[in-house]
Structure 1
């Protein structure tokens, strides 16, 4: 078996026992190795450039998001300030509605009274309630 292996190696230019190799085969192997190395180097450069571009795009996206944060925080602060003032505004609206109901009730009562003095007093009360409603609604 060992003799057959030597013949095959000698046939294809791979002489195990010979220290001096075939110069044509060595030149081809060197050229092929150089081409493979160059191809790998170019591939590594292209991949590194692709990774750089992808990371740069992601970092610029993150930078834009970070730049937008103060504006978003300011908008949220404005909404929170608006909500903080909301209970007082609602209380004013409720009070104005109650005063309007009181003025309407005074007008209805005035229609049912017979005395002119009582009607005048209820008209004055209704007018004062309407003024109070206008003041409270401000």
Structure 2
């Protein structure tokens, strides 16, 4: 028996998806600030350039790829079965659609937060 792809997966398979995107943003945030803190304390010289933007951009590409991946999968899960809005009925399908929508919105928010984190390092290029 093949699984019906038009129906969303049960809630137990998607509940943890709502924390992935914010966790990726938090790891990105910490990685960027720890990298710059170490750079500014140990490696920065008066004649050196700004913080290591190459590392920050690498962290950002990885984080944004993960956040976009979670957002796309969450959006696809949300749109399966053409869910009715608002969620008036308490059944597994509505709960799964709601969690997909929540994970999508959190991925969108995490993507924006990641861009704002990068913006700080692009605009402020000194350790002072």
TM (norm. structure 2) is: 0.40
Greater relative CO (CA pairs within 8 A, separation 6+): 2
Instruction: From the CA coordinates, give the structure whose radius of gyration is larger.
Output: 1
**Structure with the higher helix share, 1 or 2:** 1
